[in-house]
Amino acid sequence: MSVSWLSAIFFLPGLGALGLAVLPGEIDHRLARLWALVVAGLTFALSILVALRFDFTSAQQQFVESASWLPQLGISYSLGVDGLSLPLVLLNGLLVVLSILTSWQLSKRPRLYYVLVMLLMCGVNGAFMSRDAILFFLSYELELIPLYFLISIWGGKRREYAGTKFLLYTFLSGIALLVAFLSTYYFSGTGSFSLDVLAKPQTPYPLVFQFIALGLITFGFGIKMPLVPLHTWLPDAHVEAPTAVSVLLAGILLKLGTYGIVRFGLGLFPEAAVQFAWLLSVLAAINVIYASLAAMAQTDMKKMVAYSSIAHMGYVVLGIASLNVIGLGGAMFQMVSHGIISGLLFMLVGLVYDKAGTRELPKLGGLFATLPVVGAFLVGAGMANAGMPGMSGFVAEFLVFRGGIERFPVATVLCIFGIVLTAAYILAMLARAFFGKLPKTLEAMPHVTFFDMVPATVLLIIMVGLGLFPNIMTTIVQPSVTALVEQVQTGSAVAQLPR
């Protein structure tokens, strides 16, 4: 009897959310958080089990599950994982577990909070594993409502504004993607929303249609990444969101955008992808430079990290634009590395806010005297963010630059300059917050406990581990990246033959 591993990873968080929601009576916050931790932990454990049984030499979809769902509409229930999706499923499981630990002291409406976190995990897992465009779209939209409420209920003073802005932007993203998927279904002539079928239409997609569909996909997923100038929702969402939600937002939810461009943009429209790769490289350079300069101008530590997150997603876009094995492999590495580093930065900034009561740099100073461990961790995370050798950020960015320099040298050089800007604002933040004279108002702040540092320690270890042993990541993604690049090159070459 075969085990439906992916269905279990998909539905277990949803069932956990439903179970917690229907428990009778008042729910103590300790029971709610334990319930969520067990469900998330089991889901993550199943993801690890799938990884241990995964064939790292194969580029094919593995653990495939497929069943007819709405055959009259061409919609199927189809799941699978390959080297592109498996690392992100693992990252999602890890960050949800750590975000629950980060919000361990939460006592405001705990039942609803953890129900929403588990629904978020369910939707993200479903999106990464879906092999049907409509199933992906439903999973993609599923994470919208939980995140809106997590920001709007547990966020800061402007939480309703930030939550509504996020909702509107993401709703627009969903409309663009739905139009792209429906039109692709129509032009394919296959009567199916299966990604494998859509990639092999009865007749090649017209080039004009490919340009339009790829534009819609880039626009839709560009909002989620986000790409400048579609980014304005993200700094507001990060500043107002609680720490654990910021960890999930930066660490994994933004990756739905870059993953979507790789899976749908490159996978379905290779000719258009080759033609418009230059535009992606331009957008990547704009993201890196603009967001890095914006980060330098911030006085709120969390907003600075938010803009830094936008900048570093630009490196992923540059790797995608390269359309070669090294660059695209670097893009996948950067997705995971950025998830680890940005999650760690938001955790540490959250600890500063919890203990000091402020994130404003003009009100801080000398924190190494009272928060030495947090300061040391921030130095490590900041240097990783700036691409210091020996950490995951260096490997990811080096691969991206190595792949990008072959096709887009100007854009790549501009992105490399982004490292200089990153080092500048990270060092400025550390100097203003942790060095100098400690304000009298901060002399008696609460101490950081061992438990406070557990989630950050886990991410720091993984960050250094991937930097020292990058083959852990490259071994997983290499076959699938190679196959995708060959698919793009073959599809583009076939499309240029006389018809």
φ, ψ for residue 60, nearest 5 deg: -75, 160
Q: Poorest-confidence range of 34-43, 126-135, 362-371, 474-483?
A: 362-371
Paired strand residues for 66:
78
| Rounded CA separation 278/284 (Å) | 10
**Span of 277-291, 303-317, 430-444 with lowest mean pLDDT:** 430-444
292 membership: H or E segment, kind and range: helix 277-296
Position 494 confidence tier, pLDDT thresholds 50, 70, 90 = low
Per-residue pLDDT, averaged over 127-156, amounts to 92
pLDDT band (50, 70, 90) for residue 415: very high
Phi, psi of 76 (to 5 degrees): -125, 155
pLDDT tens, position by position, 462-488: 999 999 999 999 999 999 999 999 888
Question: What pTM, to 2 d.p., does this model score?
Answer: 0.94
Mean pLDDT, rounded, of the chain: 91
For residue 498, is pLDDT > 70?
A: no
Q: Which tens digit of pLDDT belongs to each residue from 46-65?
A: 999 999 999 999 889 999 99
Lowest mean pLDDT of 40-44, 223-227, 360-364, 445-449, name the range: 445-449
pLDDT tens string 222-253: 999 889 889 899 999 988 999 999 999 999 99
d(CA 459, CA 340): 6
CA 374 distance to own-chain centroid:
24
β-strands 75-81, 62-70 pairing: antiparallel
CA 200 centroid distance within chain:
28
Predicted local confidence at residue 489, as pLDDT:
82
Asked if residue 89 lies in contact with residue 125, where contact means CB atoms within 8 angstroms, the answer is yes
With a cut of 70, say whether residue 90 has pLDDT above it.
Answer: yes
Nearby residues of 440 by Cβ (< 8 Å), 6 or more positions away: none
79 bridge partner residues:
65, 130
Domain boundaries, the chain: 276-492
pLDDT at 402 over 50: yes
Question: In the predicted model, is pLDDT for residue 406 greater than 90?
Answer: no
Which residue's entry shows tokens 């409509």? 134
pLDDT confidence tier of residue 492, bands split at 50, 70 and 90: low
Q: Which of 172-186, 249-263, 431-445 has the lowest mean pLDDT?
A: 431-445
Percent of the chain past pLDDT 90, that is, above it, reads 69
Segment 328-348, tens digit of pLDDT? 999 999 999 999 999 999 999
Q: What pLDDT is stored for residue 108 in this prediction?
A: 85
User: pLDDT confidence of 117, banded at 50, 70, 90?
Assistant: very high
More confident residue, 439 or 423: 423
Query: 10-14, 112-116, 201-205: which range is least confident on average?
Result: 201-205
pLDDT tops 80 at residue 91: yes
Q: How far apart are alpha carbons 184 and 180 in whole angstroms?
A: 6
Q: Rounded CA gap, 147 and 124, in Å?
A: 11
Share of the chain above pLDDT 70, in %: 98
Q: Which has the minimum average pLDDT: 105-109, 179-183, 214-218, 397-401? A: 105-109
pLDDT of residue 497: 45
Is the predicted pLDDT of residue 152 greater than 50, yes or no? yes
**How large is the greatest C-alpha to C-alpha distance in the chain, in angstroms?**
77
CA distance 36 to 101: 10
**Looking at residues 186-203, what average pLDDT do you find?**
88
Mean pLDDT of 19-34: 85
* DSSP calls for 200-266: S-SSPPPHHHHHHHHHHHHHHHHHHTT-TTS-THHHHHHHHS-HHHHHHIIIIITHHHHHHIIIIII
pLDDT at 414 over 60: yes
